[in-house]
Chains A and B, each alone.
Chain A
Amino acid sequence: MNNTDKYDKVFIDSFSVDKAKLEKNLEYNSISQWDSVGHMSMVAALEEAFDIVLEMDDIIDFSSYKAGKEILKKYKVNIT
C-alpha cells in the first residue's frame, strides 16, 4: 500500500466515507463524523499509519483532506 492509499484509508476508516467524498476535499466539520473527537481519532490513526507525531500547530491547521497532504510533507510523507 503506497502513502496515498494509506492516507485515504485513514480517512475512509475514521469517517466512514467513500473515496469520492475525499476527492471533493473533505473538510473539518463538513460531516458529522469529522467533529472534535473524529479529528483526534483521525490524527492518531495518521500518526500510527506513518509512524510520526504531529505538532500541535499542524493538528490545528489540518482542516481538510487537501490541507493534510501538504502538512504531511513536513514529516517526509509524500502523498499524491
Chain B
Amino acid sequence: MIDHVTKVQPGVLAEGYKNLTNNEWYFPIHFPNNPNVPGVLQLEALAQMLTVAITTLKGNKGKVTHALSHEVRFRKEVLPGQKLILKTKVESWKRGICKGFGQGIVDGEIACEATMTITIPEILEQYLPKK
C-alpha cells in the first residue's frame, strides 16, 4: 500500500505516498458507482509506513513485523486518482514494540489518522518469560 517512501529518519519517522489509480482492484466493488479506498487499506498503508521507520533501524532490516493494536479515525473519502500522502511518527520503540501515530493526507486535508502499535516478534520474544 505504499508507492514511494520520500523521507525516513530511522526510529523517528517515515513519510511517503500511495497514488490511487483507477485500476486499483477494489474500486469496482468498493463500491459500484461510488469507488473509494477501503478504510482498512488506508490503515494498512499507515501501518506499513510506520514499519518503515522501524525496519530501517540498524539490525532490523528484513525482520517480520506484526500489528498489535490500532485505533483509527477516518475523516474523508479517498477517491480514485488521488494521492494519499502518508506521514508517520514513532512515539516509542522499546524491546520490540513500537507505538506510533500516522496521518493520511489527501489534497492537503487529513483523510485518516491512527495511533498504532506494531511489533517485531523476533525481538519481543527475547524478553518474555519462558514457561
Which size class do A's interface residues fall under? 10 to 19
A59 at the interface (CB under 8 A from B): yes
**CB proximity of B108 to chain A, nearest CB, Å:** 36
Main secondary structure of the interface of B (DSSP, over half): mixed
Q: With A36-B124, A37-B117 as known contacts, state yes or no: A60 contacts B129, CB within 8 Å.
A: yes
**B99-131 vs A: 1/0 string, CB under 8 Å?**
000000000000000000101000011111111
Instruction: Check B95 against A37 for contact (C-beta < 8 Å).
Output: no
Among A17-75, those with CB < 8 Å from B are: 28-29, 36-37, 39-40, 43-44, 56, 59-63
- Residues on A lying within 8 angstroms of B by beta carbon are 28-29, 36-37, 39-40, 43-44, 56, 59-63
